[in-house]
Structure 1
């Protein structure tokens, strides 16, 4: 993605607050003085974009549009924690669903990212349709120790079909650091968690208990189910997402499922950040 100067025919952007300040869901977290406000950033550019004064039919538009929506965290009592969380949220908005962060992304702003996306569009002489990119970060769940964020992406830049994806991020509310499954589970949990995960996966996909995953259209190494690390903590259990193409063709779409706590209580560290859900 190219950056710098952006010569384009039309450019418009909006940054707004979507609603009033919100307390986190759990009262024990609210007592820490952490709250958030949803923000929305929009920018578009191209030779034929809709605007307040010009209506353009979708099929006639020649426009690239970018939209970000995200929570902006604030705290009077813990400003450093809020800053760390906001920096992480920004990083998620700028990163692709798959892959590792780049140095370029780390130094970009939302505005620069949007300008670069639109510039790529306006400099491509073969574009006969519009491009779009929407990314959002939502607060899914929190306890007094953990916060689950969900990053979602949808876009189209030409080709046979749009692209989309979702990624969970679990944070330790004491330091705003990402939390892995290894941090929450007892050593040696992997095999048993995979068994519970396959059960939940099959239920979500309405598969029989013993059918071949490969014959059902899924691509797991050696036809053996294995969880990924795209997980989130919620009130009912651990949720996982397999994005399109990850274990199945695009036409089959993504798979999201939840492993109930009652199926994995013995796997959870009793003295860990999720200890209240252990046996």
Structure 2
């Protein structure tokens, strides 16, 4: 009878532990996404989930001047073919880590970008503590805020956007956007070279839309207006698929001074026929 009672209690305890482990998702502190459970059904369609990492360094919250804060929201693929998920998530984690200033080079170290967010955030915190020791008169805290989201997704491609804000002293904070596009069949990041059919025609169209976004006349000289210092119009480093069309985003400092801010516009897909490959969004 005691053996039966013990077995029943063990079963109940096991069930409770199973519910406790699966009833709530915890944010990822590791450098890679969790592997799919072996018993879980195989899902071909890639789906994303947002995770968070928040960490304070220094004397938070007692003294904001001696405080460095890191706050990050980032999407990771949670279903889909394992190899595709792994490639996507490695790229996403490496991107997030690259957006966290670590000042390794300034402090005599070798710059290395990994995929471990807590470890990279610790480098940020350590750099702040070094500054506090070297210049205790500093009266401004540091902050890094990164918010990622899925901008667009269908069964073939996904576009991920990261809005980034950081302040580590100086005349002003830094704000910029990082856009990533993925082939969901392979997990490969997509670049302009994967899409371009007629680069020169696309540049002509994009230059016209750039001027519209900046409320400049069609015959305006962009260099004289303070853009594209070397005189040549270039496509932005960041672009993304959206429901409305292809999003073009130029960050501060990319083609103009910080004071002019970012430039952002969307060109409908119908106007991009013959200029870029659109099979993935049809």
Q: TM-score, normalised by structure 1?
A: 0.75
Q: Which runs of 5+ in 2 are unaligned?
A: 1-25, 29-42, 102-109
Shift of 1:219: 2.8
Alpha-carbon RMSD across the aligned residues, in angstroms, is 2.4
**Structure with the higher helix share, 1 or 2:** 2
Shift of 1:97: 9.0
Q: How does 1:1-279 map to 2 (within 5 A)?
A: 16=27, 32-47=44-59, 49-50=60-61, 60-75=64-79, 78-96=81-99, 104-106=112-114, 109-124=116-131, 125=133, 126=135, 127-186=138-197, 189-222=198-231, 224-269=232-277, 272-274=279-281, 276=282
Shift of 1:173: 0.4
SS at match of 2:228: coil
Q: Which runs of 5+ in 1 are unaligned?
A: 1-14, 18-30
Does structure 1 retain, via aligned residues, the 8 Å contact 2:250–2:264? yes
User: Aligned residue pairs: how many?
Assistant: 231
Does structure 1 retain, via aligned residues, the 8 Å contact 2:100–2:124? no
Decide which structure has the larger Cα Rg and report it. 2
Q: Which runs of 4+ in 1 moved over 4 A?
A: none
CA–CA distance in structure 2, aligned partners of residues 269 and 253 of structure 1 = 30
SS at match of 2:274: helix
Does structure 2 retain, via aligned residues, the 8 Å contact 1:200–1:257? yes
Per the alignment, do residues 74 and 16 of structure 1 end up closer, same or farther by CA in structure 2, a change over 3 Å counting?
closer
SS at match of 1:105: coil
Q: TM-score, normalised by structure 2?
A: 0.74
Does structure 1 retain, via aligned residues, the 8 Å contact 2:150–2:161? yes
